[in-house]
Amino acid sequence: MPASRVDPVIDDWQARGRYTFTRDDLAHEVGKWDSATRDALRRLTRDSRLARPRTGFYVIVPLEYRSMGAPPASWFIDSLMGHVDQPYYVGLLSAAAIHGAAHHRPQEFQVVTDRPTRSVTAGRVHIRFVVSSLLDRIAVTRVKTPRGTMRVSTPAATALDLVRYVHASGGYDHVCTVLGELAERIDPEELTRLAGHVPSVIARRTGYLLERAGAPDQAAALADLLANEALEPQPLDPARSKKGAPVDDRWALYVNASVEPDTP
């Protein structure tokens, strides 16, 4: 098949609902990989017909997303992570928004993986990666997308991650707001089970913020989990001095930061 048939191949894939492919996929389809094929891909990318989030991986851009340069990350994140052979889940503010907590929609698509990974920019779509050593212990669910499915942390797992990566999540005030919106979806039993896999101080900070967010049932579940532990007080905000800060005995935290949920 001549390389000049790259355009019809792309059109055919899109017509059949396929929106991602690799360089090897295309070479197999057209029968060879040569300069004409490369030139066609460069032209289609330049014309915003294709996006290239990673070398050798392409996303077909439908007409309605040409001005953005790429469709939403949810359309291709599962295929992209399969291409780079990395485990992942959509997490933090992106997961919270998927679960209905969208006080401020994140400006970037946040993905948790197991190794340092450079960010992805495809048109106006930005994907940021956060590294976690607990990837295999986090509860995830498969969420349907317009073009398949993707792995997303559950509401309970998302709550703990928001606190664990608080600065990537917009700071304490914002996290407190999001937890309040997410609370009704957080299963207290699952929250306590997952809290056993994170450092105690993360569970304590999460409980404190849930309490501030007006989620007493979820906060109480974490308090019960921690009740029999001999806990040394730790700072609520590790980036600030604890000197002179009052201690919240329920959570064994130096309250060295004022937490006020954002107003809508």
pLDDT tens figures, 183-194: 999 999 999 999
Buried residues in 166-195 as b, exposed as e (16+ CB within 10 A): bebbbebbbbbbbbbbbbeebbbebbbebb
From start to end of the chain, where are the E strands? Answer: 20-22, 50-54, 57-60, 88-90, 109-113, 120-122, 125-131, 140-145, 148-153, 234-235, 247-248, 253-254
Average pLDDT over residues 210-236: 92
Predicted TM-score of the model (pTM): 0.91
- pLDDT at position 236 is 95
Share of the chain above pLDDT 70, in %: 97
Chain segment 80-114, per-residue pLDDT in tens: 999 999 999 999 999 999 999 876 677 899 999 99
Domain boundaries, the chain: 3-65, 73-254
pLDDT digits (tens, 9 = 90+) for 227-242: 888 889 999 999 999 9
Cα separation, 155 vs 60, whole angstroms? 31
Q: Cα–Cα distance between 17 and 160 in angstroms, integer?
A: 36
- Model confidence at 33, pLDDT cuts 50, 70, 90, reads confident
Best CA proximity match to 156, nearest among 194, 103, 104:
194
Looking at domain 3-65, its CATH class is: mainly alpha
